[in-house]
Structure 1
Amino acid sequence: QISDIWSMIRRMGEQSVCDYCRFGIAVCRQYSSGSAYPCVSLSTPLPGIPKPVFASVDGHEKYETKITTLENGLKVASQNKFGQFCTVGILVNSGSRHEAKYPSGIAHFLEKLSFSSTAQFESKDEILLTLEKHGGICDCQTSRDTTMYAVSAEVKGLDTVVNLLSDAVLQPRLLDEEIEMTRMAVRFELEDLNMRPDPEPLLTEMIHAAAYRGNTVGLPRFCPPENVEKIDRKLLHKYLQSYYCPQRMVLAGVGIEHEQLVQCARKYLLNVKPVWGVSTPANVDKSVAQYTGGIVKVSRFIRPVDDFIPFAVLNMMMGGGGSFSAGGPGKGMFTRLYLNVLNRHHWMYNATSYHHSYEDSGLLCIHASADPRQVREMVEIITREFIQMTGTAGEMELERAKTQLKSMLMMNLESRPVIFEDVGRQVLATGKRKLPHELCELISNVTASDVKRVTMKMLRSKPAVAALGDLSELPSYEDIQAALSSKDGRLPRIYRLFR
């Protein structure tokens, strides 16, 4: 047995020598025992592994998403997907951006009031019990331009689901006690929004308010405290009469046969008179988003969370918890913000790029956070990254970004609720749906000059800035604007030597 072990060790040594010959000394890692282990680059194919064969579209994908427009203007969109469960919902072209003629906060109220008592169901509990028979759950989400009522349940319960959705959207009772409970819920959410350690939801509100001051997507998504008492049943009915009409709705479904969904739509949504009466879509606000730029600041003392770190250490000592991941291929470690910001400036807590897309506008943002004493330096670093985006992206950098985007797209579209939302939103906004392979093709066609072009276009507009926390070291808006107009992103004023 000992001789067999020594024979195996010799063979491993021969393999290591072979690896030296194949990959060179630089790619092998030496250990204290004298043995070596090949350290092959991720961009180099592994030796002895057959060439991968990737799946290809067979040509039938273009028939997956089907759209039918009913006589009353309601669109029915579906995509079949194997499985015993389906996700079905009604999306309405209605959100906080449409509240220019109303007190802001109506969409926020409607989200909280969703799936309450209706003409057929006495209470929310009765709705939940009905869905429970089909293993179903329900949810409503409002954004700046869309309100989405969704249900996931067994396919055999489709008739019940569409009936329930029709009743929840078109026949809500909006009882006084329900509205009062919603007022309490909204007040609590507003208090929680201002007290939670994570400032991202509030900063998202502020950046929209700065970018589109007083118009469309710049209107508040959350109900302002002064409007909580103003919103009542009469006002809600007036708003619903204008925006909740068939022409502004899509019934979307994933995991069901299209004709079956169309039949249910004709049965429950074709000749239904809403509780608020005949809809008058002539009163719809059709304003186009006007980007203004600007700055919104909220000075606040950020409560220290010193005990969080010891508890996190204790948690790891106890063997629980999870691990951080940026998601996608490479875990985001090769992005610019990771390499140029987080990797070089250890004092910066966060640096994340994200974007908001709307029917007629959009925002590209960088969210960053640091100690208040280093806010000025943080702003200069982030500004420099905006400026450097105008440079030509390297081929490998661009390809990695495109591959990661396509990967995220395809991974997200493996989820039935995400497919449902994608189908509904696209059909609601454009009347049709671009399929995943079409989107991937568009992503593949992006060139370095395209990236430079849109970056230059963005930098020519006024910046929008949102700042939350101790703002004593924050540069002025004029300084930030001047830095973005410069060649190197440097702030005009020098740093103070002493704080």
Structure 2
Amino acid sequence: MKPSTPVAFHTSWKSWLSLQQPSLAAKMKYSSPWKSMEAFVTVRHRDEEIEMTRMAVRFELEDMNMRPDPEPLLTEMIHAAAYRDNTVGLDRFCPVENIEKMDRNILHSYLKNYYTPDRMVLAGVGIEHEQLVECARKYLVGVNPVWGSAKSKDIDRSVAQYTGGIIKVEKDMSNVSLGPTPIPELTHIMIGLESCSFLEDDFIPFAVLNMMMGGGGSFSAGGPGKGMFTRLYLNVLNRHHWMYNATSYHHSYEDTGLLCIHASADPKQVREMVEILTKEFVLMSGTVGEVELERAKTQLKSMLMMNLESRPVIFEDVGRQVLATSTRKLPHELCDLIDNVKAGDIKRVVTKMLRNKPAVAALGDLTELPTYEHIQAALSSKDGQLPRVYRFFR
């Protein structure tokens, strides 16, 4: 490893290390961080540690399927629908049947392929550059990792292929929130469309658009700082009392992106809820008011600056940007890019986005869920309305 090779590191090293090896982080409570990094690459993965990790994974999978907030599960489903059987559409959570298959050999094979110098970033916050380089030379150069230093050979370099589609999971949601005041049974819908990667110029307009849509839960309290003037609050939650949630999310990767809206309502209201979401998508391509655009840009800059007041966030920002783009844009540069977003930019990126097939994830009682073809037709229409369905019997 060359001295200039980047490796992820920060003064809050224990929190980073615990993500990689929890038991190791606990044992190194009083060790120097650089010694800890050196030990991490030479640690032996004992059988009892692997078994403890298997138990933790089983618990987390059970908890994810029982918790009242299904957002992590829906996010997994919307990616599977949008990128069917490829790249970011593959399982992010370990399937239950694979837990017992994980052993030391598989772990070492993975580490050998992906924990290589050219895939790492050395990020230092609150430390002099010369001292950082000297520590890297002392503790990282010449260290032979336990998984071996042979050249990696099984790196997956596939480019994400957006497919669109629908993933439906019929599930009884009446018992996910047990207690004296359980929440009502809800059906959860997430609709998404392909946006762009974080390397494209349109990434900033999409970030502003996501902030302009905003949203949240119907029970959320607060003022303008919490997004009470965003479109999903004004047009959805404030007008439809039976909607429990309407939130916009933007997931962006090196080669693709996904803008989606998550909504929750009573199972009997699912069709109407879906139509409300399709209308909001179509309305994105309409007129953008100067006031709401400036508000969204101000909120985005405010969130950016507040997050960068935290030293761990600065570290993560440095590491992620350098790892993804080989450089780092400073906060004032990002603020200038945000300020340069015009209403025409929002309309342009939305018009392009609406040409794609939608991705749909549905969880709960799906009796009233419209067909995928009807959802696609609504997003392609001028008003976002679902095709009418006539029934002889109700």
- Tell me which interval the TM-score lies in, with the shorter structure as reference length: 0.7 to 0.9
Match of residue 87 from structure 1: 12
**Alpha-carbon deviation of 1:391?**
0.7
Matched, 1:267 2:138: yes
Are 1:175 and 2:76 an aligned pair? Answer: no
Q: Which residue of 1 aligns with 2:90?
A: 219
C-alpha displacement of 1:306: 7.8
Change (3 A) 1:447 1:89: farther
Helix, strand or coil for the counterpart of 2:348? helix
The equivalent of 1:287 in structure 2 is 158
Cα 1:432–1:350 change in 2 (3 A) is: same
1:113/1:174 contact within 8 Å kept: no
Q: Answer whether contact 2:3 2:137 (CA < 8 A) is retained.
A: no
| CA-CA distance at 1:326 after TM superposition | 6.2
Instruction: State whether structure 2 residue 379 is matched by structure 1 residue 484.
Output: yes
2:73 corresponding residue in structure 1: 202
* Counterpart in the other structure of 2:194: none
Which residue of structure 1 aligns with residue 297 of structure 2? 402
Distance in 1, Cα, partners of 2:293 & 2:241: 26
2:6 is aligned to 75
Deviation string 1:122-165 (CA, Å, 9 cap, x unpaired) is: xx54213x15xxxxxxxxxxxxxxxxxxxxxxxxxxxx112202
Q: Output aligned runs, 1:5-404, within 5 Å.
A: 71=2, 74-75=5-6, 86-88=11-13, 114-117=21-24, 125-128=26-29, 130=30, 160-168=32-40, 170-304=41-175, 305=177, 309=181, 324-325=220-221, 329-404=224-299
Amino acid at match of 1:210: A
Instruction: For residue 124 of structure 2, give the secondary structure of its aligned residue in structure 1.
Output: strand
Q: Deviations over 1:170-190 (max 9, x none)?
A: 123111111111111111111
State the SS of the aligned residue for 2:107.
helix
- The answer for the alignment partner of 1:428 in structure 2 is 323
The one-letter amino acid of 1:331's match is K
Q: State the identity as a percent.
A: 70
Mapped to 1, the partners of 2:293 and 2:4 lie a distance apart of: 42
CA deviation profile, 1:247-288 (whole Å, cap 9, x unmatched): 111121222222211111111111111111114234321111
* 8 Å contact kept, 1:244–1:279: no
Q: Deviations over 1:447-496 (max 9, x none)?
A: 11110111111111111111111111111111111111111111113376
TM-score with structure 2 setting the length: 0.85
Amino acid at match of 1:196: R
Instruction: State how far apart, in whole Å, the 1-side matches of 2:14 and 2:327 are.
Output: 17
CA separation of 1:357/1:324 partners in 2, compared to 1, >3 Å: closer, same or farther? same
Measured in 1, the distance between the counterparts of 2:323 and 2:91 equals 22
Selected match of 2:341 from 431, 446, 451: 446
Query: Could you list the runs of 5+ residues in structure 1 that have no partner in the other structure?
Result: 1-69, 79-84, 92-109, 118-123, 132-159, 312-322
Contact 2:245 2:264 in 1 (8 A): yes
Q: Equivalents in 1 of 2:8, 2:179: separation in Å?
A: 50
**Which structure carries more strand by proportion?**
1
Structure 1 residues 190-210: Cα deviation after superposition (integer angstroms, max 9, x where no partner): 111111111111001111111
Root-mean-square deviation (CA, aligned residues, Å) is 2.5
Give 3-state SS (helix, strand or coil) of 1:367's partner.
Answer: strand
Does the 8 A contact of 1:383 with 1:483 survive in 2? yes
Residue equivalent to 2:193: none
**Aligned residue in 1 for 2:310:** 415
CA distance in 1, matches of 2:392, 2:277: 21
Letter in 1 for 2:174: R
- The structural deviation recorded for 1:71 is 2.3
Structure 1 or 2, whichever has the larger Rg, is 1
How far apart are residue 308 of structure 1 and its match?
5.2
Distance 1:213 1:296, change over 3 A: same
**SS of 1:227's equivalent?**
helix
Superposed CA deviations along residues 428-452 of structure 1, whole A, max 9, x for unmatched, are: 1111100100000000000111101
* Count of residue pairs brought into register by the alignment: 358
Q: Which residue of 2 aligns with 1:470?
A: 365
Amino acid in the other structure paired with 2:381: S
Distance verdict in 2 for CA 1:284–1:255, change over 3 Å: same
Residue 77 (structure 1) shift? 8.4
1:373 shift after superposition: 0.3
Q: Distance in 2 between matches of 1:410 and 1:216?
A: 32
Q: Which has the higher contact order (CA 8 A, sep 6+)?
A: 2
Give the residue type in structure 2 aligned to 1:428: L
SS of 1:197 mapped into structure 2: coil
**8 A contact 2:8–2:120 mirrored in 1:** no
Poorly superposed stretches of 4+, deviation over 3 Å: 85-91, 110-113, 304-311, 323-327, 494-499
Q: Which amino acid aligns with 1:178?
A: E
- Label 1:310 to 1:444 Cα distance change in 2 as closer, same or farther (>3 A): same
Take 1:213 and 1:355, find their aligned partners in 2: how far apart are those partners?
19
Residue 352 of structure 2 aligns with an amino acid whose one-letter code is K
Given the superposition, is the C-alpha separation of residues 332 and 443 from structure 1 closer, same or farther in structure 2, using an over 3 Å criterion? same
- Separation (CA, whole Å) in 2 of partners of 1:183 and 1:113: 14
- Secondary structure of the 1:363 match is strand
| TM-score, normalised by the number of residues in structure 1 | 0.67
Q: Contact 1:113 / 1:178 at 8 angstroms: preserved in 2?
A: no
